[in-house]
Structure 1
Amino acid sequence: MSTSIVIIAIVSIVIWILVSQELIKPSKENKEKRKLITLMSAGSLSTLILTVFLFENIQL
């Protein structure tokens, strides 16, 4: 497995942890919708990259 994919996987995990922490905050503290949208977009993109990489490497 390529080193860059491992790094993307670790970054993706960290991003999704940050998203979950942002969603757990009480509604008074959850005023930063932009931050949440940015984190979810980055998380979705990194997950998509990982999914494409894994499907390309499936050996039938």
Structure 2
Amino acid sequence: MLLLIAIVSIVIWSTLSRELVKSSEVKNNQKNRRKVITLMSAGTLSTIILTISLFQNLQS
């Protein structure tokens, strides 16, 4: 399960970085801004889940 979350997290963060490069080429596109915020939120959530799971596994 953690492997799947880690893979999804990598995909989210790489997609986010591509969107940020694309948004620097296109000036202030509202649709791009929403997409970046959504990807940032999903990436942060998946990273928090992975971090909590890692600390739980270290304590066991």
Q: Identity across aligned pairs (percent)?
A: 61
Structure 2 segments unaligned to the other structure (5+ residues): none
- Taking only aligned residues, the RMSD between alpha carbons, in angstroms, comes to 1.5
Q: Which residue of 1 aligns with 2:33?
A: 33
Aligned residues: 56
Q: Which residue of 2 aligns with 1:19?
A: 16
Structure 1 segments unaligned to the other structure (5+ residues): none
User: Structure 1 segments of 4 or more deviating over 2 A?
Assistant: none
Which amino acid in 1 is paired with 2:34?
A: R
**Pairing 1:8–2:5 present:** yes
Kindly provide the CA deviation profile for residues 14-56 of structure 1, in whole angstroms up to 9, marking residues without a partner as x: 000000001111133x611111000000000000000000001
Q: Which residue of 1 aligns with 2:42?
A: 42
